[in-house]
Amino acid sequence: MSAGAHVQLLYLVATGLFILSLRWMSDPATARRGVFSGVAAMALAVAGTLAGVAGGHGGHYGWILLAFALGSMLGYPLAQVPLTAVPQRTALSHAFGGLAAGLVGTAKFFLYHGQGSREALTPFIVVAIAAEILLGFLTFTGSLMAAGKLQEVKWIPQRPVTYPGQNVVNLGLLVLALALGVALVLDPLAPWAPAAFLAMIALSLAFGVLMIIPIGGADMPTVISILNAYAGLSAVAMGFVLNNKLLITAGALDGSSGLILSIIMCKAMNRSFANVLFGAFGQAVPAAAAHEARNYKPDTAESAAQLMAEAGLVVIVPGYGMAVAQAQHRVRELYDQLKKRGVRVKFAIHPVAGRMPGHMNVLLAEAEIPYDDLVEMDDINGEMPQADVALIIGANDVVNPAARTDPGSPIYGMPIIDADRARTIYAIKRSKNPGFAGIENELYYLDKTFMLFGDAKAVVGELAKQLAGESGMH
Ligand code: NAP
């Protein structure tokens, strides 16, 4: 077998492992195996590519090692971020992926242009290069903006920034960039081609920024997933430019999984792609004056624990606040205490609770809560009227009944966990602040709702302690 054939074989195995990785990651029982096979696939891909370099231009290892060292220096701290920061960390990865694709496309174009090579700059290759730099560079700036918005970087406004004619301006930029791309395909060796190429890069970079500013912070996780799809597609284009089959297949897997994930998120929020991308969701919602006079009913952990101890069914609804407080291990203690007393306990999992799909599942799995007691939204809602207690731990938007009842609400139509249909509701949060969508929640004002104010970890710990029969509240 020739050296080239060995590399292709490695690529084939890597592709198979990437596919298995996605397959395995879709089930908690096999997810760990999925992660390992993804890592193994990437290691094989890198090994195959390095072997290919050795076959061709062996003298470049120094540069590769330097890039490897720089990449590791950036990658290591990125791997240390807390779970709640994973969406913005992921956006940064997409930004680097987009930048890499854009730079490779740029290098290839100027290399071939410099050589005056018509054979290299075939219409097909120029189309691939144009797609690569357009998607790559807009993913780069778009992802940086998205990460900045999620991280709440001061100089990037969280709220959507809109102005009249915005969509026309954005569309105009895109059309201009595409027109330049078409001109380059028609005459890639023209004397104006390098200038047109650089203009196309500038337009793509600007488009990435302008595309993100009208989108509110609340929609960023969905946008990041869409950018993931763009980064994948730019990798596909790069695969065609470099004639690398693994890049084509891995990019296609990346692109399609990003797209599927964004569709899942849009469905869970009852929104369309167009609405996410152009809807300026999360613009300041006028505060409802009628709500100001009303009060929450605070209660103590002691009486909440008492009621739960006598309950037949307790449904726990975790949300972003549980993740912020890292309360999952206390939740496990509470679960154990309730189980010990013969109470049935179920966890109601909303598909977009927290800040990324599967966020609650990961945290509860970390605390080793049996997976069978995690119930998807559609399955638990039928049981909510039988729940004696709904215990809401740092969830807000995903239990907001306005989604069902108030056609004027920005979240109207979003499927929710019907916590309001439980007999009694206890809600744990620190203050009267709204959730991610920035809107009031009627649920907290119901006659049967009681607030347990405080940090989720402390309050759930106290509930578990009360149930364990230990005295003293702090
Ligand atoms: P949420 O609406 O953001 O509400 C979280 C609540 O937790 C807040 O009201 C906050 O109130 C409370 N909280 C924060 N820190 C806390 C702490 N340490 N202890 C106790 N409570 C704490 O969260 P959610 O109900 O999980 O809804 C998720 C939101 O993210 C939805 O709007 C969803 O559309 C959006 N989103 C999610 C995804 C995804 O993939 N998961 C994707 C796109 C968008 P206090 O400040 O008063 O404590």
Q: How many Å separate Cα 318 from the centre of its chain?
A: 18
38 Cβ inside 6 Å of ligand 1:
no
* More confident site: 55 or 401: 401
The ligand 1 atom at the shortest distance from the C-alpha of residue 268 is 34
Secondary structure class of 313 (helix, strand, coil): strand
User: Phi first, then psi: what are they for 56, rounded to 5°?
Assistant: -90, -85
- Reported as a single tens digit per residue, the pLDDT across 224-270 is 889 999 999 999 999 999 999 999 999 999 999 999 988 988 888 77
**Residue with CA closest to ligand 1 atom 11:** 429
**Residue with CA closest to ligand 1 atom 15:** 321
The residue from 397, 420, 447, 455 that is catalytic is 397
Counting ligand 1 atoms within 8 A of each CB, the residue from 83, 228, 285, 397 with the most, and so the one to mutate, is: 397
128 Cβ inside 6 Å of ligand 1:
no
**Ligand 1 centroid, distance to 379 Cα (angstroms):** 22
| Closest C-alpha among 263, 149, 138 to residue 216 | 149
**Ligand 1 centroid, distance to 347 Cα (angstroms):** 16
397 Cβ inside 6 Å of ligand 1:
yes
Q: Answer yes or no: is pLDDT of 291 > 80.
A: no
Mean pLDDT to the nearest integer, 381-404: 96
Buried b (16+ CB within 10 A) or exposed e, 95-130: bbbbbbbbbbbbebbeebbeeeeeeebeeebbbbbb
**Residue with CA closest to ligand 1 atom 8:** 435
Mean pLDDT to the nearest integer, 196-223: 90
| Closest C-alpha among 231, 244, 36 to residue 143 | 231
456 Cβ inside 6 Å of ligand 1:
yes
218 Cβ inside 6 Å of ligand 1:
yes
Residues contacting residue 29 through CB under 8 Å, at least 6 positions apart: 371
Q: What is the mean pLDDT of the chain?
A: 90
> Which of the residue ranges 174-188, 203-217, 330-344 would you say has the lowest mean pLDDT?
203-217
**Ligand 1 centroid, distance to 290 Cα (angstroms):** 24
Whether residue 452 contacts residue 427, with contact meaning beta carbons closer than 8 Å, is answered with yes
d(C-alpha 277, C-alpha 296), whole Å:
36
* Per-residue DSSP letter, 286: P
Mean pLDDT to the nearest integer, 348-374: 90
Q: Answer yes or no: is pLDDT of 390 > 50.
A: yes
d(C-alpha 283, C-alpha 219), whole Å:
11
Mean pLDDT to the nearest integer, 77-105: 91
Secondary structure class of 251 (helix, strand, coil): helix
Whether residue 84 contacts residue 115, with contact meaning beta carbons closer than 8 Å, is answered with no
Q: What is the pLDDT of residue 409?
A: 86
Q: What is the pLDDT of residue 281?
A: 59
Q: Answer yes or no: is pLDDT of 310 > 50.
A: yes
459 Cβ inside 6 Å of ligand 1:
no
Most confidently modeled range among 28-37, 96-105, 403-412: 96-105
Whole-prediction pTM: 0.81
Q: Answer yes or no: is pLDDT of 288 > 90.
A: no
396 Cβ inside 6 Å of ligand 1:
yes
Q: In what order do the strands lie in the sheet with 374-376?
A: 374-376, 344-349, 313-318, 389-393, 424-429, 449-453
**Ligand 1 centroid, distance to 166 Cα (angstroms):** 30
Q: What is the pLDDT of residue 236?
A: 97
Share of the chain above pLDDT 70, in %: 94
- Reported as a single tens digit per residue, the pLDDT across 268-284 is 877 787 777 776 555 55
Mean pLDDT to the nearest integer, 422-433: 96
Helical packing angle, 123-150 and 86-115, nearest 10° = 150
- Reported as a single tens digit per residue, the pLDDT across 7-30 is 899 999 999 999 999 999 988 789
* Per-residue DSSP letter, 215: S
**Residue with CA closest to ligand 1 atom 47:** 431
Residue that is written with structure tokens 């890039």 in the block: 67
Q: What is the pLDDT of residue 239?
A: 96
Whether residue 217 contacts residue 91, with contact meaning beta carbons closer than 8 Å, is answered with no
**Ligand 1 centroid, distance to 408 Cα (angstroms):** 21
264 Cβ inside 6 Å of ligand 1:
no
**Ligand 1 centroid, distance to 354 Cα (angstroms):** 6
Q: What is the pLDDT of residue 413?
A: 86
353 Cβ inside 6 Å of ligand 1:
yes
Of the pLDDT bands very low, low, confident and very high (cuts 50, 70, 90), residue 472 is very low
The ligand 1 atom at the shortest distance from the C-alpha of residue 429 is 21
d(C-alpha 195, C-alpha 321), whole Å:
51
Dihedral (CA of 212, 214, 220, 224) sign? negative
- Reported as a single tens digit per residue, the pLDDT across 46-74 is 988 888 776 655 567 888 889 889 999 99
**Ligand 1 centroid, distance to 228 Cα (angstroms):** 23
| Closest C-alpha among 259, 238, 248 to residue 133 | 238
Q: What is the pLDDT of residue 3?
A: 67
* Per-residue DSSP letter, 388: S
d(C-alpha 305, C-alpha 354), whole Å:
25
Judge whether 372 counts as a catalytic residue.
no
Residues contacting residue 419 through CB under 8 Å, at least 6 positions apart: 315, 317, 348, 384, 390, 392, 395, 399, 425, 443
The ligand 1 atom at the shortest distance from the C-alpha of residue 394 is 7
Mean pLDDT to the nearest integer, 440-453: 95
User: Phi first, then psi: what are they for 327, rounded to 5°?
Assistant: -90, 0
452 Cβ inside 6 Å of ligand 1:
no
Q: What is the pLDDT of residue 214?
A: 86
Neighbours of 203 (CB within 10 A): 23
Of the pLDDT bands very low, low, confident and very high (cuts 50, 70, 90), residue 289 is very low
Helices (H) and strands (E) in the chain, counts: 17, 6
- Please name the amino acid found at residue 248: I
Q: Answer yes or no: is pLDDT of 471 > 50.
A: no
* More confident site: 301 or 85: 301
Secondary structure class of 283 (helix, strand, coil): coil
277 Cβ inside 6 Å of ligand 1:
no
**Ligand 1 centroid, distance to 353 Cα (angstroms):** 7
d(C-alpha 405, C-alpha 268), whole Å:
17
